Structure 1
Amino acid sequence: MILIDCSSGIAGDMFLAALLDLGADENKVLRAIDKIGELITEVGVRIREVKRRGIRAKKVDFYAEGWPPMEGEDLVNYVERCVEELDMSDEARGYAIKVAETLVEAESKIHGEAHLHELGRPDTIAEIVGASVALDDLRAFDTTVYSTPLAVGGGTIETSHGKLPVPAPATLEILKGFPIVGGPVKQELATPTGASLLVNIVDSVTEFYPMMKPSRVGYGAGERELEIPNVLRVVSGEPLDAMREDVLIIETNLDDVPGEVVGYAIDRILREGARDACIIPMIAKKGRPGQILKVIADRGNAEHLARVVMEETGSLGVRIYRCERIVLNREVVPVRVSVDGYEAEVRVKVAGSFRVKPEYEDLREIAERTGKPLRVVMKLVEDKLRELYD
């Protein structure tokens, strides 16, 4: 697992530097950036160690001459051309393109057209391509990536559009749905490139570090000295058997909604990305029977799910509150079983040494194909799993 500690913000160069300090192959990253020179124009790179408020960190600087003017479409095309030439996973290639597209979409939304201005520099492509290669080398696309809420800073910044509030409009557009916090200094702490790299790799945002055994820590330095250590910290490690995470609970009381509507509402809520949803019986006002619809949601999706709840149930409002939960780490593994000569693969959820549970849909398919009762199939499969996991 990987944790990105954004308590001092994030920028593209800081993210790449932190990944290199974490252990990403520097030569792979440099070769990838060299590819930009082969396709467009040469980009020089300087990697060094610096200190920010006494903390040692890696610093990455880029420079180039004769860089052509770049529009939004150019950025996406250049990134696509670069990653197509590189030896990297499909996930990393898709990530790089998505990061570029996210930047262009934000600029177009804010300004009505994708004139990149500050983002039309060589370091934007180098940061996107370099970070994608570094994440791929660290196998980040094969693990869970967490982030703390992103500190965005405060005050104002000078741009080609004049003086703008922090976070910059494009940065804020990219961060829609992602937890942020102002401060802790009156400076720009989150750049559009850094924000795009972050939102496209993070699986879950947590206020506190998840339960883990840290193995490596990387520090990437920002450009300026601030009142706080201007570094991005990235931590990799092993998850424990269980981990603590923050979720939001969305709930509302129902006492006049038909059962079919409630059932459909739960189905849609789950399709729209809820972690879970359930109905709890209750006695409502005037002794009427009713239900509490309870939904577990991630922070980034809670507002959307709240609207879905109100749309589908006709409720005039919902309650939302933070909840901390402890969950067992789990994985889904395929297990081959034989039932009356019928060979099948059953997906099995394995949660540490606590629980082994076959997927219902796979059991149902076996029951339908063999003509055996579901409870008999379930017993046969569970006996097989005990042989494997006891």
Structure 2
Amino acid sequence: MAKLSSSNGLEKRPKLRFPGFDEPWKTNIFDEIFSLLPNNTLSRADLASCGDILNVHYGDVLIKYGSILDVESDEIPYITTGKESKKQCYLSDGDVIIADTAEDETVGKCTEIINTQNAKIEAGLHTIPCHPRTAYAPMFLGYYMNSPYYHKQLIPLMQGVKVLSVSKSNIGNTLISAPVSYSEQEKIVDLLHLLDCLMRKQQEVIDSLKKYKRGLLMHFFSDDTTRQWRQYTISQIGKVITGNTPPTNDRSNYDGDLMFCSPRDIGEQKYISSTEKRVSPKGFALGRPIPPSSVIVTCIGLIGKLGIATTDMITNQQINALIVSEDFDHEFIYYAFENFFPKYRSKVSMQTLPILSKSEFEKLLIKVPNLNVQHKISNYLAGMDKRIEQTQQELNVLQDLRRGIIQKLFI
């Protein structure tokens, strides 16, 4: 598909090239390439689902949209009728919207507009809309300006503490590099767009599997299904251990090989096989160890994040761990909690800092069938989790591939 090339003196070439292209890329200052366009200052409170003017909010640029925003296929809120922009300016196909404000270093993320139908679309609050003066292959600028090569120019330009921002004048001095050949730009776009489409399809499969699993949970733990099940308190199901933190002022308690679980280690994976922090044998002895197969539950802040220990570990004080007795299937209890805690969270969400103490946790009531039924239900749900995990791993491979290609494809 491509061949490797290296820099030639002051000429700039990417490491990864398509066959037939070897000329150096051209670099221009941002202000030489773009004309800045006016944006409106409408907040989300000024937006509604009716009207004929599409509005792109900076928060959606940061989170919702990728490098490309296709007006035909991507959902965009409408500007409310009666709210007119002071400087009304509709964006054209190929225009770029930059988010100039964020709570982290994602500030500067952008999206390129695909607007072949000439819809009425505006850039909203905290955005920098810009129009390329020269022709680029559709979607090239969106991909390039979200690459690490361009974004690293913005990091020293960011201002602020809790909220970061980048000014128009500073962005105007950044550099844009691109192939001289329009055809090479198109090939780069085609490759990245293909990877994005594959990742989008893969994510749709993951979302469908997760939705199906939620339906299974609702079925298995519905009132009709559990009518004949027996009700137990958590203390009847096993032993509850609330974690603690070895003294942090003594560094000899840390930087070992033993696992120390905190809430940030929980939620992404069902099985907890690694932790961000590790402790020494000395630190481990100062904690409250839990064995493998213990069900781990966060009980301060976001209550009900779950995991299953895969090895001996200690936890911090934000976690209650349940060592499930032999009369119960620990995997089933995990799924019972997965069904239970979303409803519980909705009841305590109004509290400033929700806390589920050990004594309160032990009093919670869970309906449980006989052990044979527990095994059947947990095995079925575990099979679904395995399918979701495998599909997620396939998506991770695509994401890693895309990152690796971008690192070699741009300069």
Say which one has the larger Rg: 2
TM-score scaled by length of structure 2: 0.24
TM-score scaled by length of structure 1: 0.25
When you count strand as a share of all residues, which structure comes out higher? 1
Structure ranking higher on relative contact order (CA contacts 8 Å, 6+ apart): 1
